[in-house]
Amino acid sequence: MSEAVFIGALALVCGTVIVLAALFFYRRVLELKHERKMPIAADELQQRLHRIELAIDSTAIEIERISEANRFMTKLLAERAGAVTFVAKPERVITPH
């Protein structure tokens, strides 16, 4: 076998291996892209949304309780203090040194 035929056959084999590897890589990229696009199951999504809704509802109830307690404490403090008049601060007096 001549040297030119050997180099040509070697280049053909190497080129074929490189092209096949590139095609396998591209196929895997397309498979991964397709897997990412698959939607979440509807049942899972509904359950998750239901849990989120319950958490938001319980948080809203707790916030309402806190605000009601704040209003109650403000009312108690206002009744306890009565009509308190605030004394104005005395004016500054400049004293010589």
Residue range 18-56, pLDDT digits in tens: 999 999 999 999 998 887 776 667 788 889 999 999 999
Residue type, 13: V
On the CB side of 76, how many CA atoms lie within 13 Å of its CA? 6
Residue type, 23: L
The better pLDDT of the pair 86, 35 is held by: 35
Tens digit of pLDDT for each residue in 51-72?
A: 999 999 999 999 999 999 999 9
